[in-house]
Structure 1
Amino acid sequence: MRKSSPSRPMRLRTLLTYLSLLPLGACTKSCDDYDNAAEFNRAQLPPYTETGAHTMGCRLGPQVWTVLGHHDAGRAIIGGTYWEKNELWAGPFNNFLTPPRVPLLQVMGRMTGVRDSKAFYDMELNMVFHLTDTLGGLRLLGTDTARATTGIQPEAMWANDYLSFSNDYRSRTRRPVRLQIRRLDRQQRIVSGTFEGWLYGGPGGNDSLEVADGRFDVKY
């Protein structure tokens, strides 16, 4: 015997009940207070490994930088507060400046410090490099973006300051970031290495930011 479907009034009551509960569920994610200041102050560089541990860290100016905390993604998505966990990402980098035959990898992470639900530090670090075995593993991440009118070109590093977009920093040819690939395992898809150098930008584009003690170990 065929089972009858719910009547239209019953379906309507079910929908209204769901809608009445939705703001409570949304607020659980978007309205909760968040504070990671203590964890931020204890942040340390990850140990250097070559196992695909999915880590990245460096000293970015005076600050120990690693992937940590949650950033407020709500302003761009829902116009309110929504804390989203920062995660390390590694995958292909593609743009119209890059020939399809050139294998490029992008490694990207973000560190956010929040006190009483207000960010006091929010810096994203990106690097893009060739997945090749040339130059003994050495990469010079030195694209001078001051001369690039169509976007970020390959083999570069940049730091985005989400608290002040005028404070972004980018690698340049005059003093490039030296990236040393120490393991490139194409079968297990692991790449690890170290990096150091300088990024340039900041207010007016005349500031500099030292990158030191950099290390990463990712699966791609």
Structure 2
Amino acid sequence: MDFPQKQAGHSALLLAALLGLSQCKKDNSSPADQLPPATQTGANTFGCLLNGQPWTPNGNNGKPNFNVSYDPGYAGGALQVKTYRYVEPNQVRQGITFGAANVTQAGVYSFDLLNSNSVFYNDLGKPSPCDYIGDPPRVTYRKGTLTITRLDLTQGIISGTFAFTLYQPGCDSVRVTNGRFDKKL
């Protein structure tokens, strides 16, 4: 007459298994979810996906790890965005820098190879010449855009999004997507 005990034991085991399964959460987040939001408030944020992985400024070498400069009187409106981070385990420095001329308002600006606007990526953990990828003639493919979403000189705010691909023979391609920045000037 131990049937009720066995049934109770099986019920308790089944309940425990179901309870354990209910605690499993499927992670539906994407790498882009780990980036700061694309804002236009002067939030002092920068982020992108570098070859599909989240990339944000990190560390400090005595200079700000995220800097934006804008000079409306130079080159028809010159913008430069510079950022870097240190990557574990050896604190290797990586950097992303881009700039554009004739930036006078919100709009789309090209990073294409034959354009004077520029974009650079450096990773000091890679051997030369793959540690620095940016301009021709070493770079044979450069395509992308910078979209200024807010240029408000009265409030001192510049915000935008960006994406680009760089290729240099003998090196891995650099693909930056989902880029966004928002800076108080």
TM-score tier (shorter): 0.5 to 0.7
1:24 matched residue in structure 2: none
1:166 aligns with 2:129: yes
Distance in 2, Cα, partners of 1:186 & 1:124: 27
Alignment counterpart, residue 88 of structure 1, candidates 55, 66, 69: 66
Contact 2:86 2:94 in 1 (8 A): yes
Q: By how many angstroms is 1:90 displaced?
A: 1.1
Alignment of 1:11-90 (within 5 A): 44-70=34-60, 84=62, 87-90=65-68
Q: 1:62 to 1:90 in 2, by over 3 A?
A: same
1:213 aligns with 2:178: yes
- Structure number with greater CO (CA < 8 Å, separation at least 6) is 2
Q: Normalising by the residue count of structure 2, what TM-score does the alignment of the two structures yield?
A: 0.67
Distance in 1, Cα, partners of 2:84 & 2:148: 22
Alignment counterpart, residue 137 of structure 1, candidates 107, 115, 122: 107
Query: Which one has a larger percent helix, Structure 1 or Structure 2?
Result: 1
Distance in 2, Cα, partners of 1:176 & 1:45: 22
Q: Normalising by the residue count of structure 1, what TM-score does the alignment of the two structures yield?
A: 0.57
1:122 matched residue in structure 2: 93
Structure 2 unaligned runs (5+)? 1-32
Q: Identity of aligned pairs, percent?
A: 33
1:180 aligns with 2:147: yes
Distance in 2, Cα, partners of 1:178 & 1:187: 25
- RMSD across aligned positions (CA): 2.9
Q: State the AA in 1 paired with 2:38.
A: Y
Q: State the AA in 1 paired with 2:118.
A: A
Q: State the AA in 2 paired with 1:156.
A: S
Secondary structure, counterpart of 1:180 in structure 2: strand
Distance in 1, Cα, partners of 2:46 & 2:66: 8
Distance in 1, Cα, partners of 2:116 & 2:70: 12
CA offsets, 1:89-135, max 9 Å, x none? 11147xxxxx94422111111011233xx22x4210001023223xx
Q: State the AA in 2 paired with 1:140.
A: S
Secondary structure, counterpart of 2:129 in structure 1: helix
2:81 matched residue in structure 1: 107
Q: By how many angstroms is 1:54 displaced?
A: 1.2
Distance in 1, Cα, partners of 2:151 & 2:64: 25
Q: State the AA in 2 paired with 1:104.
A: A
Count of residues in Structure 1 that have an aligned counterpart in Structure 2: 146
Q: 1:123 to 1:103 in 2, by over 3 A?
A: same
Structure 1 unaligned runs (5+)? 1-42, 72-83, 94-98, 145-152
Q: State the AA in 2 paired with 1:132.
A: T
